[in-house]
Amino acid sequence: MDFFDDIIIDIKQLTFSRGERYICKNMDIRIPRGKVTAIMGPSGTGKTTLLKLIGGQLKPDSGSILLDGDDIPRLGRSELFDAREKMGMLFQSGALFTDMTVFENVAFPLRVHTKLPQDMIRDIVLMKLQAVGLRGAAELMPSELSGGMGRRVALARAIALDPALVMYDEPFTGQDPIAMGVLVNLIKKLNQALGHSSIIVSHDIKETLSIADYIYIIADADVIAHGTPEQLKQNDSDQVRQFMRGLPDGPVPFHFPARDYETELMEGR
């Protein structure tokens, strides 16, 4: 079956720039429904920015981002907040509300978007915390959690409303190997069990390849390759090979653009 028979997000001709620099230029990305899609690329290529564009936190210069037919950049403020109920996002830092307990953090989206009775909210929160293995930490404050635990709580919060789309911003960065393994499994399992679509932004190749159904690699403000993990492993473009194998220099330069090295050194004399 083709991945793209049923797509949840359709990004067309997306252009976004910061000052003179293009973060994406006429970019086309389609996110299949019910699958784990990874967006990979070297640091600083605007992967997080792309998630913020999808979430409507940034407005593109041009192009469209269709979420089930709604063009995110063109939604009004209140429609945008309604559309966000369909999305969950796991921030790189976790971004838990520091003045609430773990329980209240996970309950927050339920309390603001549903009129469920207290005992039902309690049950849902406990189920979500059980799913991430932190039911026992329900009464702790975010400051009492380790980084990995914080991110799992944030994950429980992101899936509290059973969103159609969950976006993960660098979920594996800064995790110890055990927490990393736990997260990888969780993301895969949750995707299968809850049937939502996931977008993972990451540059951790091994982990991402192990759970992604489809991968986009972006560099130089555009998609340089896309395909299933198998297809990408066999891709013979220099740029893709450099990234997939983690070679320090290649078509994606190791050096930030600079003047000639020798000239600059000699100038100081």
Partner 1 sequence: MAAIVNNLALLGRFALDRVAAIGRSGLILMHAIIARPQPLIAFPLLIRQLYSVGVLSMVIIVVSGLFIGMVLALQGYTILVDYGTEQAVGQMVALSLVRELAPVVTALLFAGRAGSALTAEIGLMKTTEQLSSMEMIGVDPLRRIIAPRFWAGVISLPILTMIFSAVGIWGGLLVGVEWLGIYEGSFWSNMQNSVDFFDDIGNGLIKSLVFGLVVTWVAVFQGYDSVPTSEGISQATTKTVVYSSLAILGLDFILTALMFGDL
List interacting residues with partner 1 (CB under 8 A).
52, 55, 57, 77, 81-82, 84-85, 87-89, 91-93, 95-98, 108-109, 112-113, 154, 157
Three-state SS sequence of the chain = CCHHHCEEEEEEEEEEEECCEEEEEEEEEEEECCCEEEEECCCCCCHHHHHHHHCCCCCCCEEEEEECCEEHHHCCHHHHHHHHHHEEEECCCCCCCCCCCHHHHHHHHHHHHCCCCHHHHHHHHHHHHHHCCCHHHCCCCHHHCCHHHHHHHHHHHHCCCCCCEEEEECCCCCCCHHHHHHHHHHHHHHHHHHCCEEEEEECCHHHHHHHCCEEEEEECCEEEEEECHHHHHCCCCHHHHHHHHCCCCCCCCCCCCCCCHHHHHHHCC
In whole angstroms, the minimum distance from the beta carbon of 156 to partner 1 comes to: 13
| 56 vs 229 by CB, closer to partner 1 | 56
Q: Which is nearer to partner 1, 74 or 245 (CB)?
A: 74
Shortest CB 224 distance to partner 1, Å: 28
Residue 91 C-beta: closest distance to partner 1, Å: 5
Pick 165 or 215: Cβ nearer partner 1: 165
**Closer Cβ to partner 1, 169 or 229, answer by number:** 169
Alpha-carbon torsion angle 247, 252, 257, 263, nearest 10? 50
The sign of the torsion formed by the CA atoms of 248, 249, 250, 254 equals positive
Q: How far is the CB of 56 from partner 1 (least distance, A)?
A: 8
Q: Which amino acid, 101?
A: T
Would you say 223 and 50 are in contact if contact means Cβ atoms under 8 Å apart?
no
Cβ proximity to partner 1, 198 vs 235, nearer residue: 198
CB of 94 to partner 1, least distance (A): 8
Identify which of residues 98 and 118 has a Cβ nearer to partner 1 in the complex: 98
In the complex, the smallest distance separating the C-beta of residue 61 from partner 1, rounded to whole angstroms, is: 18
- Measured from the CB atom, the residue of 19 and 177 that comes closer to partner 1 is 19
Distance CA 208, CA 205 (A): 5
We find the least distance from the C-beta atom of residue 49 to partner 1, in angstroms, to be 12
